[in-house]
A = this chain, B = another copy of it.
Amino acid sequence: MFRSNTCGELRIQDKGRNVQLAGWVQTIRKYGAITFVDLRDRYGITQLLFGEKVNTQLETTPLGREFVLQVNGEVIERSNKNPQLATGEIEVDVQSFTILNRAAVPPFTIQDDTDGGDDLRMKYRFLDLRRSSVRRNLELRYAVNRAARTYLHEQQFMDIETPFLIKSTPEGARDFVVPSRMNPGQFYALPQSPQTFKQLLMVSGYDRYYQIVKCFRDEDLRADRQPEFTQIDCEMAFVEQEDILTMFEGMIRFIFKEVKQLDYTDPIARLSWEEAMWTYGNDKPDIRFAMPLLNIKKPDTVFSDRADHRALIEGANFKVFDEAETVLALAIPGAAAYTRKQTDELTEWVQRPQIGMKGLAHIKYLEDGTCKSSIDKFYTPEQLLQLAKAAHAQPGDLIVVLAGKEERTRKAMSELRLEMGERLGLRKPDEFKLCWVLDFPLFEYDEESNRWVARHHPFTSPKPDQIETMINNNPVITDAANYLSHPYAGIKANAYDMVLNGNEIGGGSIRIYQRTLQEKMFAALGMDKEEQQHKFGFLLGAFEYGAPPHGGIAFGFDRLCAILGGSESIRDFIAFPKNNAGRDVMLDAPASIDEHQFEELQIRLNLKKE
């Protein structure tokens, strides 16, 4: 062993001990004939004192930042104590030292506030990983890993490894494929999730399964997606939705307690998908702040059980509202005093292509109780006041109104709500608010192919009381224009998402476990018998031999760690992440392969002409 102690370990009680330390040179400070060196390792920093005797040796063998140093010396009390540091009361009076390895000058400083840009830090990730901010992220990740395993073990879950070289059954996302040399012309696929395997394990009677496991999706990468990502993947047999919600509320509370020392004792809100969309315009609402939407007007075909407030705007002959499918309002606390410039900026914000609205109307609900509005040509002060009050505005608030097509308008208003929440400081990274979103639609309509697609995945069960509806109706859509009146449009999934601070951190469902229902589902998604058999024959087969009722959930481990760490970037919580082009810039991967690899695999390139 190269050391007797770590750099985070020595205290005033160790005074007088002879110790051996090894670590990296963080800083060097010369004061005349003596030198102070901060020596760093994973556990902390210890100050070294190079007194006159050894200091002369430093002249012949000078130290530099990031040198790997081993020292022998005596623990002494510091004259100048540093209460910021756990080892701040002592220093080590160096008697001898060995330079274990030298270091070139790093391309950026190894500090929390580094001067390194993103690309440089990714290229030299092995140096970036030395920064204590990055190390804390990986430590948090390990703590979450530990906590999840501990909880699940105590609940009798078993970690069972599922294979990585499986069969390509692209549904939704693209598979990464792996050519098989031993089976020329054939390919394995990397799993997008262990979904079918964990279901088979339930059929096999394993009852409570979990795995913290890498999954793969070959998708064009959005800002914060990775081609390989980690899931906490779980499945249970003999359960209903309520059992799963309870079990995993327990897990997340346990993780909060273990990792953040936080007692999350509040009940975890449960919103239906409709309620979330209605109130927040979003199926993963950030409920750290209120700011509910006011549904002034909506098409008849959606949220059919809910009444809008169209009376507030009707009869004014304001074409923009009258011709819009959907009109939504939002009260922004304390923003009535916005200047023209500020309201113009909001208008421009919603007009950006990502948001895509034509414009924005506003009503200032002034402190004196009166209203000033960009649409007061069309509405009386009383009408404006009524609208403001319906939007739960208080005097001093600004009410913004968007109008347009249902889907785009709702999404735009949801984005605007989040943006204003951010600007108002209502989205605190150290505050945590969980909720469940339930009762998703089972299907989405795909216009291009005029058929249903699975909103979650093809293994999700409908609500128990809608199984008959599904079995007894033909999934084919004969009247594309009125797809919403097809019986399948109203079928709700026995599915649930766990949402933390506006991010979906986990999602799952009660599964189909009856062969006939699974076949009906595949048929609804446009798969004929032959394709069903080719892709999922093993699962349909398994359902014939005594499949129990079962369901599960998968947590996005990278994102969960990021949010618990107060960040929205998952890359900061992955040891060796890829960039947005799917490249590992440190390895310079992917890369070309050798000719003999092509030969052995019996494939060749077929590059498109530019």
Contacts and interface: CB of A to CB of B under 8 A. Distances in A.
Given A177-B601, A604-B603, A186 B68 contact: no
The majority secondary structure among interface residues of chain A is loop
Contacts of A601: 177
Contacts of A185: 592, 605, 607
A545 interface: yes
A368 to B, nearest CB: 58
Interface stretch (A138-146, A262-270, A327-335): A138-146
Interface string A526-557: 00000000100110011111111100000000
A267 to B, nearest CB: 20
A591 interface: yes
Interface in A8-55: 22-25, 40-43
Nearest to A238: B2
A180 interface: yes
A419 to B, nearest CB: 30
A381 interface: no
A160 B138 contact: yes
Given A142-B158, A177-B178, A545-B104, A167 B591 contact: yes
A602 interface: yes
B178 A174 contact: no
Given A162-B576, A167-B588, A170-B594, 6 more contacts: A2-B238, A138-B206, A141-B160, A167-B587, A167-B589, A602-B608
Interface string A146-177: 10010001000011111111111010001111
Interface stretch (A95-103, A273-281, A349-357, A407-415): A95-103
Contact of A590 (B42, B187, B240): B187
Nearest to A160: B575
A453 interface: no
A97 B68 CA distance: 70
Interface stretch (A126-134, A393-401, A436-444, A484-492): A126-134
A101 B547 contact: yes
Given A100-B548, A230-B161, A593-B187, A587 B538 contact: yes
A252 interface: no
A149 B149 CA distance: 10
Contacts of A606: 598, 602-604
Contacts of A139: 158
B68 A546 contact: yes
Interface in A571-610: 574-576, 578, 581-584, 586-594, 597-598, 600-608
Interface stretch (A213-221, A313-321, A424-432): A213-221
A106 B547 CA distance: 13
Contacts of A537: 588
Contact of A138 (B158, B214, B513): B158
B166 A190 contact: no
A575 B188 contact: no
Nearest to A213: B214
A101 B514 contact: yes
Interface stretch (A196-204, A287-295, A301-309, A337-345): A196-204
Contacts of A522: none
A177 B2 contact: no
A218 B203 CA distance: 31
Contacts of A586: 538
A606 to B, nearest CB: 4
B158 A589 contact: no
A205 B608 contact: no
A102 to B, nearest CB: 7
Interface of A: 1-3, 22-25, 40-43, 66-68, 100-104, 106, 124-127, 129-130, 135, 138-139, 141-142, 145-146, 149, 153, 158-168, 170, 174-190, 197, 200-201, 203-207, 214, 216, 218, 220-221, 227-228, 230, 238-240, 243, 513-514, 534, 537-538, 541-549, 574-576, 578, 581-584, 586-594, 597-598, 600-608
A471 to B, nearest CB: 16
A557 to B, nearest CB: 9
B130 A167 contact: no
Contacts of A587: 166-167, 538
A228 B576 contact: no
B538 A101 contact: no
Contacts of A597: 168, 170, 174-175, 177
A243 B587 CA distance: 31
Contacts of A574: 161
A573 B170 CA distance: 29
Residue from A182, A190, A203 with most neighbouring chain B CB atoms (10 Å): A182
A576 B167 contact: no
A116 to B, nearest CB: 13
Contacts of A159: 142, 145-146
Which of A1, A547, A606 neighbours the largest number of chain B CB atoms within 10 Å of its CB? A606
Nearest to A589: B167
Contact of A187 (B168, B218, B545, B591): B591
A238 to B, nearest CB: 4
Contact of A163 (B23, B168, B576, B592): B576
Given A174-B181, A238-B1, A163 B228 contact: yes
A146 B163 CA distance: 20
11 contacts: A1-B240, A42-B207, A66-B545, A68-B547, A101-B543, A101-B547, A135-B205, A168-B594, A174-B597, A177-B597, A603-B604
Nearest to A557: B161
Contacts of A25: 546
